[in-house]
Amino acid sequence: MKYQYIHQHEGARRADLLMAGWAADEHLFADLPDTGDDLIVCYDYSNLTLHTAGWPEYEQVRLLAWSMGVWAAEHTPALQGLNLTDCLAVNGTPRPIDEHCGIPPRVFELTLRGMSGAALVKFRHRMCGDTYAYFMRHLPQRSLEDMQHELATIGRQALSLPEGRLPWTRALVATADVIMPTANQQQAWQERGVRVCMTEGAHYAPQYFEEWRSRR
C-alpha cells in the first residue's frame, strides 16, 4: 500500500486518513481543503501493508474509506494501532465482491477480464456520472498495467480473507451508484448494524470528500 500526505503540519495532533478506491491515487484528492489537521491518502491495494512508523502519534484519527478502500481498511493491520475516533464508509462494503453485499462476482470478473483503455474510460464515466469532467482534471497518474494488477490482487484476496470488524460509525450510500449497487450496500450495512446515510449521486463525487474534510 502507498500513502501520500496532502496536508502536513508540524506538531499536528489530529489527522484525517482517506482510504481511496481502486485505481486512485493522491491526485484525485489534491484540492481537498487544509483545515489545520493532517490529511493522508492511502491507495494501491496490491498489498495491505501500511508503513506508519514515521507518522506522529496522533491523538485523533478520522477515517474515510471509499469504494474498495472500505474492504482494504478492514484488512490493514496498521489501522488497529491508530486512535480512530470516527470511521466513515463511502460507497463500499466489507464484502466488495458478493452477489448480495457488493459487486456481483460475474460483473467483477468481466470487468477484470475486459480491462483496456477503452473499457477504463467507460468505467470512469459510469463511476462519476456528471462529475466526470472534475475527475479528469484530477486524473490519477497510474498505468493500466498497474491498475489491472491491483484489481486482480483485490479479487483474489477479497474472496479468501475473512470479513474484518472495523468499528464503522456510519456508511454513506449514493442513490445512483452503478458500480457498487446501492441495494447491495444497504444490505451489507444492515447486516453489520451500521447506520446508513443516503445521498444523491454516483459512485464518485468530490463533495463526499469535501464535506467530510470540512466537518468536525
Name the one residue in this structure whose C-alpha cell is 489501522: 79
CATH number at 6 reads 3.40.50.1820
Mean pLDDT (whole number) for 69-75:
98
d(CA 55, CA 64): 18
Question: Domain span at residue 136?
Answer: 2-214
d(CA 14, CA 58): 5
Q: 14 in helix, strand or coil?
A: strand
In the chain, how many domains are there? 1
| Structure confidence by residue, pLDDT tens digits, 109-164 | 999 999 999 999 999 999 999 999 999 999 999 999 999 999 999 999 998 998 88
d(CA 48, CA 29): 21
Are 188 and 104 in contact by the 8 Å Cβ rule? The answer is: no
Q: Region of 91 please: left (phi>0), alpha (psi -120 to 50) or beta.
A: left
Q: Is the pLDDT of residue 216 over 80?
A: no
Q: Which of 202, 182, 158, 193 is nearest to 70 (CA)?
A: 158
Are 100 and 187 in contact by the 8 Å Cβ rule? The answer is: yes
d(CA 4, CA 54): 12
Are 34 and 80 in contact by the 8 Å Cβ rule? The answer is: no
Are 79 and 73 in contact by the 8 Å Cβ rule? The answer is: yes
What pLDDT score does 163 carry? 86
| Structure confidence by residue, pLDDT tens digits, 170-211 | 999 999 999 999 999 999 999 999 999 999 999 999 999 999
What pLDDT score does 113 carry? 97
d(CA 181, CA 126): 12
| Structure confidence by residue, pLDDT tens digits, 4-40 | 999 999 999 999 999 999 999 999 999 999 999 999 9
Are 170 and 195 in contact by the 8 Å Cβ rule? The answer is: yes
d(CA 196, CA 170): 6
